[in-house]
Structure 1
Amino acid sequence: MKKMILATLLTLCSVSAAAHTLWVLPSHFVLSSEDSWISVDVSAANMTFVADKGVSPANLSIVFPDGQRQAFAQSYQGKRKSQADHQLTMDGTYRIELGGPARYFTFFQEDGQRRRIMANKQERAAQLPANATDVVTTRSRGRALSYVSVNAPNQTALALSNDGLELKLLTHPADVVATEPVRWQFVLDGKPVADVQVELSREGELYRDDAGREVLSSDANGYLTFTPQVAGRYVIEASVQLDSSNALADQVRESLTLTFEAALP
């Protein structure tokens, strides 16, 4: 399988957000009392955590420490950002996730014009015109994630689905500390994926002359190792494009953002 790594994020959740970074930002990353409420901001923006475009919260969900998934209790879509609230009723780690199922697009040429239909490889034959050429079907999906822990962190909500681009969080998000190394691993459909280009950025860009973004890369086994130098909130952006022998697609395009906090040492 020929591998192509994209250096920029492919935001797939909204056409209007295509040139922006999609992120979910919880009001807290670590809490010490049960029955606390969490508030989550959702936006797509060019500058880290400076809200620009509100994104529909329809595909926003929260996975509880016991593995059950729930929709947020209440949500609102605004012009600059969307917001959602939910009550955290048990100890452990929660996963906040924005992202729907994979979508399939078939691109082709017809009479010198590039066209597109929403169909996978098995569906496209019935929809393509007879004179279609250069036919390529792509599976596309984007996710934005964050994790919140209440009292004792656990692993259940960190479990991989083995579907699409994911991060295996060897360093638990609740254990990320400034000046200490973090080790995670990129996997695609459950298998390690090498040379994923990643951009790491942190809050406060609006007040710095230098944005301070860092470009990283996973190693041959998909491992990503880095050290946040200062405490604060960060976001990782990554995407991959791969040729595929899948029965439903010729190519796979996956994007992922992860928002996390580095605690004071």
Structure 2
Amino acid sequence: MKNLLTAAMLALFSQASLAHTLWVMPSHFVLSGEDTWISVDVSAANMTFVADKGVSPDNLSLVFPDGSRHKFSQSYQGKRKSQADHQLVQEGTYLIENGGPARYFTMFEVNGERKRIMADKRAAAKELPAGATKVTTSRGQSKALAVVTVKAPNRTALDPKGDGFELNFITHPADYVAEDKIEWQLLMDGKPAAGVKVELSQQDELYRNAAGRQMLETDAAGKLAFTPTQAGRYLIEASYQSAEKTELADQSRATLTLTFEVGLP
């Protein structure tokens, strides 16, 4: 099978993904011109906004203010970071997303060797070889987000879809200002994701003796709040895990990052 991998290969991929945080960084967060362009850097790194590993831009997309999704008009993958450009022809709020829908993989054992099939429980049941044991299906999702607004903000591109791990922007990103409270809500399949640990970091930690990262946690309604004391660019990273079984998976794991900018008061 083309989508069958050994446990050793899976472990290698998992270590690579866990070692670095995926983020996107737009050149601008708020724009006032007409038919303006946006450039976006994409990287995976241990230190916030210090480019380390270039990431394929194949899964990078831009949701327009009218809700339509587009691929970037041009992109380039480098060794330390990748870059993409697109012309913003509509007035309103755009969502930049690197990632995609949830993916499923089924791990199993045959003659003592661990392998996997890229399929959910239903599909995997038709592909599993005879004698397969220790069968477990996982659902995984990883995406990096940023929001850009041209002139008047709107919310069409930001509306949660009720599918997978999502961020509900209670406070519109165009209104993030130092000394004002920012609120978000984390959702899993449209339901509040309670008790999710969220790490928050700020730009320029390379030049500080202490990184100054903060740990936040969603409440029973999946909400979290942060009041920035300084203007600048920030990153939040949220990780979700669940052992709840569904018709398609035995467990779920998802990560989400958001790059955002806080303006001067």
Query: What TM-score do you get using the length of structure 2 for normalisation?
Result: 0.91
Alignment of 1:38-57 (within 5 A): 38-57=38-57
CA contact (8 A) 2:139 2:251 kept: yes
Cα deviation, residue 259, structure 1: 0.5
Q: Which residue of 2 aligns with 1:25?
A: 25
Q: Which residue of 1 aligns with 2:131?
A: 131
Residue 77 to residue 15, structure 1, CA distance change in 2 (3 Å): farther
Indicate the structure whose relative CO is greater, using CA pairs within 8 Å and at least 6 residues apart: 1
1:14–1:55 contact (8 Å) kept in structure 2: no
Separation in structure 2 between the aligned mates of residue 172 and residue 149 of structure 1, nearest angstrom:
10
Cα deviation, 1:217-265, whole Å, max 9, x if unaligned, reads 0001101111122110011101111123322111121111011001111
Answering whether residue 64 of structure 2 is matched by residue 91 of structure 1, we say no
Distance in 2, Cα, partners of 1:100 & 1:183: 24
Which residue does 1:150 correspond to in 2?
150
More helix by share: 2
How many residue pairs get aligned? The number is: 253
Counterpart secondary structure, 2:126 = coil
- Distance in 1 (CA, whole Å) between partners of 2:126 and 2:140 is 21
Q: Which residue of 1 aligns with 2:173?
A: 173
TM-score by length of 1: 0.91
Q: State the AA in 2 paired with 1:70.
A: H
Deviation at 1:118, TM superposition (A): 1.5
> 1:9 maps to which residue?
none
Partner Cα separation in structure 2 for residue 264 and residue 186 of structure 1: 26
Deviations for 1:53-99, whole angstroms, at most 9, x for unmatched residues? 00010111111111111111110000000000011112111000111
Taking the aligned partners of 1:43 and 1:30, their CA distance within structure 2 comes to 21
Per the alignment, residue 191 of structure 1 pairs with: 191
Distance 1:30 1:146, change over 3 A: same
What residue in structure 1 maps to residue 216 of structure 2?
A: 216
Aligned 8 A contact 2:91 2:150 in 1: yes
Report the alpha carbon displacement of residue 152 of structure 1 after superposing the two structures with TM: 0.7
